[in-house]
Amino acid sequence: MKKIILFIIIIILIAIATVLISVKIFAISGNSMESSLKDKEKVLVLKYVNFLGKLQRGDIILIEKDNKLMIKRIIALPKEKIEINEGKIIINDQLLLESYVNDFYTYGNQRIFLADGQYFVLGDNRKANESIDSRIFGPVTERAIRGKVLGIFSPNLKIIKPPLYKLGS
């Protein structure tokens, strides 16, 4: 009986250690992800993104760019063509409709073809000068991705739901 209890305690300790090693709490700084994430909220980030499967359009990720960590949303995936034109986002010639963005006008005009391993990321706040993202620094590589946001940790615990978007014409 003592061996079974000891075994269970060891398994629980290993599970706790695994969670502590693989997750990070990150504080949001600024309003580039509003209205999804607000300034000073703390989010829970899974460091090993491949653990949950491939990254998908709409995932909120932690990236490192110029030695700064920032939270952004994946808009376009490797090997896709993305256009921002007249406030609209077009991916592979299909309009991207996003339910999580308050202002549907996305500033900037550009056309980019993503290479293998590249992602186009934006903040949810698409107003002019509100988000430093791929419109400014270009695509991010898989190496720049430090984790995937699983949920809001503080002030209230909340799981991030799968993104509501669709590609249409």
**Domains along the chain with CATH numbers:** 2-168 (2.10.109.10)
H helices of the chain, in order, are: 2-22, 134-137
Query: Where does the pLDDT of residue 160 fall: very low under 50, low under 70, confident under 90, or very high at 90 and above?
Result: low
Antiparallel, parallel or unpaired: β 88-91 and 94-98:
antiparallel
Q: Residue 168: phi, psi to the nearest 5?
A: -150, -170
Cα Rg for the chain, rounded, in angstroms? 18
pLDDT score, position 165: 63
Structure tokens at 25: 């709490």
Q: In whole numbers, what is the pLDDT of the chain averaged over residues?
A: 84
| pTM of the entire predicted model | 0.81
Q: Does pLDDT of 121 surpass 70?
A: yes
Interatomic CA distance for residues 111 and 81, integer angstroms: 7
The predicted-structure confidence for 26-57, as pLDDT tens digits, reads as follows: 888 888 888 788 888 888 888 876 655 688 89
pLDDT score, position 13: 84
Interatomic CA distance for residues 88 and 106, integer angstroms: 6
Interatomic CA distance for residues 58 and 40, integer angstroms: 22
Residue type, 14: I
Structure tokens at 118: 């590249």
| Helix and strand totals (H; E) in the chain | 2, 13
